[in-house]
């Protein structure tokens, strides 16, 4: 699955109320094959686009646009 589709699916899942506003990668079954996707796209990782904000180790929330 490409990056934009994964981010879109994560956004829809969170905004739809299926997952809490603060979430872990393991909350999304479709990320089982991409366990580091959220961490690698969190604010502060200068090599990838930033879609998430790291709250604490392993806990994230969506970055607002």
**Are the CB atoms for 38 and 31 separated by under 8 Å?**
yes
| Domain residue limits, the chain | 3-62
Residue 58 backbone zone (phi > 0: left; psi -120 to 50: alpha; other: beta): left
Over residues 9-23, the pLDDT tens digits come to 999 999 999 999 999
Report the pLDDT value the prediction gives residue 49, as an integer from 0 to 100.
93
Q: Hunting for tokens 């999304």 — which residue is that?
A: 28
Report the pLDDT value the prediction gives residue 45, as an integer from 0 to 100.
86
Over residues 25-64, the pLDDT tens digits come to 999 999 999 989 999 999 998 889 999 999 999 999 999 8
Report the pLDDT value the prediction gives residue 47, as an integer from 0 to 100.
87
């Amino acid at each position: 699955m490409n990056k934009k589709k994964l981010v879109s699916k994560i956004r829809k899942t969170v905004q739809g109320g299926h997952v809490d506003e603060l979430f872990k990668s393991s909350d999304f079954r479709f990320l089982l094959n991409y366990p580091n996707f959220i961490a690698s796209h969190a604010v502060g990782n200068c090599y990838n686009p930033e879609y998430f904000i790291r709250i604490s180790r392993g806990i994230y929330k969506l970055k607002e646009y």
